[in-house]
Structure 1
Amino acid sequence: MEWRDEGLIIGTRKHGENAVIVEAMTTRHGRHLGLVRGGRSRRFAALLQPGNTVELNWRARLEDHLGAYTVEAKSLRAAELMQSRDRLSLSQLICEHLRVLPERDPHPRLLAEANAMHDNQADGYSLGCAIAKFEMRLLDELGFGIDAGSCALTGEQSGLSYVSPKTGRAVTAEAAKPYLDKLMRLPHIFGGALDLSEKDELEAAFALTEHFLNMHIWLPRQLSPPSARERLIKTICNGL
């Protein structure tokens, strides 16, 4: 078995005396692991870093084996990321999110967004929107996204303002009035009609994604939220 693909390195771990197991999110083969022999040598030190995009050639005797990678540089971002605490936190958050995806299941659109965020120098509100949309895309592709197509109570498609934390269904402001204490705000970022400040928009968006990530992914798998997430979100929101 053999294939060649582009991938974003999202994790590495030592194996044996001088090898490294590289975990990469690839375009056509999804989240995929492979062994890099000699990966702990100086030659590979700058290359095998999370956040770098590389060309991968994978070989194995059988499809379900771990297999071995040969790696070529394509976009080496790691050194630049380490110069900014916020950019490094962003990369760590993206990589941690991608690691919850099923192994060998392609998600090319999610990978494209991950690469774009690594390369984009946006900050503040724009960066916050990109992160929130990425988290919602992750939920969507895992089958746990919110339903903001129409009101769960009236069927109306406009004026959607709140979301049920249990079902993920959206409702209009009018229909929500008897249940406001039980609902979550639906920000404009996700198609909501509420008139919110930029800071409130982001706080509402991150509250939604955190709630459903916790409900459907972190708690069932006994995972903690990515350590970089809270600090990065706090930095962004406090700067608005």
Structure 2
Amino acid sequence: MTRVTAERAVVLHTRPYRETSMIANILTERHGRIAAVVRGARGARKASSLQPFNQLVAGWSGRGSLMTLTSFEAISHPVLKGDQMAAAFYVAELVMRLLAEHEIAPRIFTAVVWSLDSLEAGDLSTEVVLRSFEKLLLEDLGYGIEFGQCADSLKSIDPQARYELIPEQGFVAVAEGKEGYSGADLLAIADDDYSAASTRRSAKKIFRGLLNAQLGARPLLSRSLLLRGSRE
């Protein structure tokens, strides 16, 4: 039987369960993503502590895939609105869809906390936060690619050349005059530098394709929120 008494966690999603309880999906620092029943949690006080994106100190116990949350205390209540909120839902949905339950992923936990804190602070644009998170998530799940080296020649990416992405291989040079990704943008992505608009556009297209390959046919609901926000 699993029993954990105090663990940092982030609430990803909750849903009602029976008459007075709920099931909370939380991402924990040392135990990965877990689903846990929270008994009697639909009262106002408990429900407010389990709002999505709250950071907690939590305890749980149980056997199998569904745990029972035995204690929880909110230690952070991020104030998000508009595209910040849509971006937070996107981050949470990616983790829910791509990270298997109980898979230990401390770097992803840290990245989620950083993303939520950065969205709330507003020091970085939503686009920069999301591209940074997507890159780390893909790398940590084993789906990352090399942005600084050509896949076929193994030479360093030339900032003056253009490249295309070959699935499951990497970037290869394209013939002069053909469309492709700028080498300068690829090197910027390798350095996590999204200051240029062209780099952000390239990163979004690349990461979207890599994520879609893992997500399958079922679309992300949060993407419609992001799209709606970009039109307003």
Q: What is the match of residue 223 of structure 1?
A: 218
Cα gap change, 1:163 to 1:122, in 2 (>3 Å): farther
- Percentage of pairs with the same residue: 24
Residue 168 of structure 1 and its aligned partner are, at CA, apart by: 4.6
Q: 1:204 to 1:158 in 2, by over 3 A?
A: closer
Identify if the C-alpha distance between structure 1 residues 104 and 65 changes in structure 2 by more than 3 Å, giving closer, same or farther.
closer
In structure 2, the CA distance between the partners of 1:72 and 1:105, relative to structure 1 (3 Å rule), is same
Output the TM-score relative to the length of structure 1: 0.81
Asked whether the 8 Å contact 2:35–2:65 carries over to 1, the reply is: no
Task: Find the partner of 1:87 among 80, 84, 89.
Answer: 84
2-structure distance, mates of 1:158, 1:212: 20
The 1:144–1:231 alpha-carbon spacing in structure 2 relative to 1, beyond 3 Å, is farther
Q: Distance in 2 between matches of 1:39 and 1:189?
A: 46
Question: Please, what TM-score do these two structures have when normalized by structure 2?
Answer: 0.83
Alignment equivalent of 1:117, drawn from 109, 115, 118:
115
Cross-structure match for 2:130: 131
The alignment partner of 1:67 has SS state of strand
- Runs of 4+ aligned residues of structure 1 deviating over 6 Å after TM superposition are none
Q: Distance in 1 between matches of 2:115 and 2:154?
A: 35
CA distance in 2, matches of 1:5, 1:154: 46
Give the superposition deviation at 1:151: 1.2
Q: Deviations over 1:100-137 (max 9, x none)?
A: 2111112111211211121122356x442221121121
- What residue in structure 2 maps to residue 208 of structure 1? 206
Deviations 1:27-81 (A, max 9, x none): 0010111111111111212111111000110111x3x15121021111122xx22
Consecutive unaligned residues of structure 2, counting only runs of 5 or more, are none
Residue 24 of structure 2 is matched in structure 1 by 22
Aligned to 1:190: 189
Question: Counterparts of 1:38 and 1:45 in 2: how far apart (Å)?
Answer: 9
Whether the 8 Å CA contact 1:184–1:208 is kept in 2: the answer is no
**Deviation, structure 1 residue 95:** 0.7
Moved more, 142-151 or 106-115: 142-151
The alpha-carbon deviation at position 14 of structure 1 amounts to 0.6
SS of residue matched to 1:99: helix
| Structure number having the greater strand percentage | 2
Please state how far the C-alpha of 1:210 moved relative to its aligned partner: 0.5
Structure 2 CA distance for aligned equivalents of residues 113 and 33 of structure 1: 20
What SS does the corresponding residue of 2:175 show, helix, strand or coil? helix
Determine if contact 2:107/2:140 at 8 Å carries over to the other structure: no
Equivalent in the alignment of 2:3:
2
Label 1:152 to 1:165 Cα distance change in 2 as closer, same or farther (>3 A). Answer: closer
Q: Any conservation in 2 of the 1:7–1:54 contact (CA below 8 Å)?
A: yes
Distance 2:211 2:165 in 1: 15
Unmatched tracts of structure 1, length 5 or more: none
Q: What is the deviation of 1:158? A: 3.9
CA distance, structure 1, for counterparts of residue 44 and residue 74 of structure 2: 15
Deviations 1:150-181 (CA, angstroms, capped at 9, x unpaired): 2123221242653414235123xxx3226934
